[in-house]
Structure 1
Amino acid sequence: MTMTQEDTLKDLSTKYARLSKGHKRIADYVMGNYDKVIFMTVHELSTTVGISESTVVRFAHSLGYDGYPSFQKSLQESIKNRLTTLQRLEYMNTGQQEGNVITKIMHSDIRNIQDTITNMSLDRMKDIADTIHQAEHVYIFGLRSSRILADYLGFYLKFMHSSVTVLPQGVNDTYDELINIQSKDVMIAISFPRYSTHTITAIEHLKTKRVEVIGITDSYQSPIARIADKFILANFNVDTFVDSLTAPMSLINALIVTMSLGCKGNMEKRFNELEELWKDQGTYI
């Protein structure tokens, strides 16, 4: 069962009247404590509400889900942009031992990469790489933690494209740059929860100028995916107060390598020149 962003709670509210007494108890708790439920196991939820685990599973089935995990995943997708950093920190600090948290986070990163690989379209990746190659000028924009990804992508794209600009962080500085972007250019917009308002506003402005926008984000329901002409997705969870950029970084690595395959000759020439320059300047030990 697939729903658009924030539809899970709305759907639960709509179906509330026809739920059984036991299912209404679960629904009441979910609607009032969604920020906790997205992290709770079936056992934890059943114990908290005071009903059986099988009732929790039937509750998910009654809403049209395959089971509790699919209901929980849909709920996570619906509300992860609402979660404050404090809410995420409180979850991380609740009843978990240090060693368990560390291994859980690392396993979560592994799953995020695996899910990203499973859902990735190689044809879409190649199409986006071709679009970037053909652009007259490539602009990259990412704010908050996504700025790290923007800088990383920009660093490597400059080896493959002669005209690359990573837009500055300041709002006024960003708009000073936006006026220079033309229809033959491409904007790569990077945004993960919590989505930056300024990123969305900037690309909405570019769409009025008929600039092609490529999105790098986390789901079909994200604001970037809804606005961008093309996009690629990296799985993103909210297990801690830290934005885990492991899967997004891996996806960007894949995009960089895909682009490099289309310009081997030019890259070899450029790196030969750079190696000589780095050697003369003593850049590396």
Structure 2
Amino acid sequence: MNRQNDLMKRINETYPKLSKGQKLLANYIIKHYEKAVFLTASKLGKIVGVSESTVVRFANELGYDGYPKLQRALEELVKTKLTSIQRMEVASDRIDKQQILKSVLQSDADKIKYTIEDIDGEAFDKSVEMILEAKTIYILGVRSSAALANFLGFYFNLIFNNVKLIHTNSVSEMFEQIYRMDSDDVVIGISFPRYSKRTIKAMEFAKSRKAKVITITDSPLSPMIQYADCSLLARSDMASFVDSLVAPLSVVNALIVALCIKKQDDVINALHSLESIWEEYEVYDKSDDDITLTYNPKEQI
């Protein structure tokens, strides 16, 4: 059962036996779920006119282990429904305007913390092995997720010689680049709310061609999951006009590091060749090359 429908189903089924105060909460959530999701138990109770303890009992009555679990179910319900304008309004209300830098950094730090707690280590290890065994590695992410796909593609091209980063402005262009994929290939699809239909269609196509599918997304309820052999879940911020991709980027980084370790000799050889090319064609600035650093381990400070 989809949890998005499950929440409303629970409310409908339990409504007749709810107390008067709990029915007020139920009615408010049904009518204003896009606002309720961002409220603490205390604030929700104050708006509806009930105590915080009534809010907690209401969550328990619905079958959730405390208010945070109910709030998480609400997040799943609204994450794909908020427009960009609504997200901007919500972000404006939630962020401390006097401490914007600290507020955003703390929010991103929290998402990495939650990702560490939730991510499936076995799925990560399986993803690494699938990538190592693939004939061709396809990488796809559009809109804001394109930044993650480009980052992953850049480093994968240093590790492998069988990487295809899909560049697409239309569905037809996308299929023209992936129509050859088969069961020996792996596709890495990256998408976060609001989920891209193009990316979802690509995952569906990959599954129909029996390619291995790895998804990097935010939730077990993501539409990407239905086509995935392995899913790497990373928290993103559903309530901001600017997508928070810090935790997803950290997962991508971990994937790159794991594969570099697995293919350490190949990576070292590639970097030796690239260093010569970079030097010959002056890819990097060398203005500090006249500064020589020396280190004598016998010296004591």
Q: Do these two structures clear the TM 0.5 threshold for a shared fold by scoring above it?
A: yes
Q: 1:98 aligns to what SS in structure 2?
A: coil
Per-residue deviation at 1:9?
2.5
2:72 maps to 1:86: no
2:13 maps to 1:14: yes
TM-score (norm 2): 0.89
Give the match for residue 122 of structure 1.
121
Give the match for residue 242 of structure 2.
242
Using CA pairs under 8 Å that are at least 6 residues apart, name the structure with larger relative contact order, 1 or 2.
Answer: 1
Letter in 2 for 1:261: I
Asked if the contact 1:234–1:248 (Cα under 8 Å) also holds between the matched residues in 2, the reply is yes
Structure 2 gaps of 5+ residues are 286-301
Q: Distance in 2 between matches of 1:112 and 1:94?
A: 19
Q: Distance in 2 between matches of 1:97 and 1:251?
A: 28
| Counterparts in 2 of 1:101 and 1:58: CA distance versus 1, 3 Å | farther
Q: Distance in 1 between matches of 2:239 and 2:216?
A: 20
Structure 1 gaps of 5+ residues are none
TM-score (norm 1): 0.94
Give the match for residue 205 of structure 2.
205
Give the match for residue 32 of structure 1.
31
Worse overlay, 86-95 or 202-211: 86-95
Per-residue deviation at 1:7?
2.2
Per-residue deviation at 1:100?
4.0
Asked if the contact 1:214–1:231 (Cα under 8 Å) also holds between the matched residues in 2, the reply is yes
Number of matched residues? Answer: 284
Rg bigger for which structure? 2
Per-residue deviation at 1:93?
2.2
2:183 maps to 1:183: yes
Asked if the contact 2:135–2:184 (Cα under 8 Å) also holds between the matched residues in 1, the reply is yes
Q: Distance in 2 between matches of 1:6 and 1:261?
A: 43
Per-residue deviation at 1:120?
2.6
Give the match for residue 61 of structure 2.
62
Letter in 1 for 2:194: R
Per-residue deviation at 1:6?
3.9
Per-residue deviation at 1:124?
2.4
Worse overlay, 14-23 or 206-215: 14-23
Asked if the contact 2:96–2:103 (Cα under 8 Å) also holds between the matched residues in 1, the reply is no
Worse overlay, 5-14 or 252-261: 5-14
Cα-to-partner distance string for 1:174-197 (whole Å, 9 max, x where unaligned)? 011121222211111111111111
| Counterparts in 2 of 1:100 and 1:45: CA distance versus 1, 3 Å | farther
Q: 1:235 aligns to what SS in structure 2?
A: coil
Letter in 1 for 2:180: N
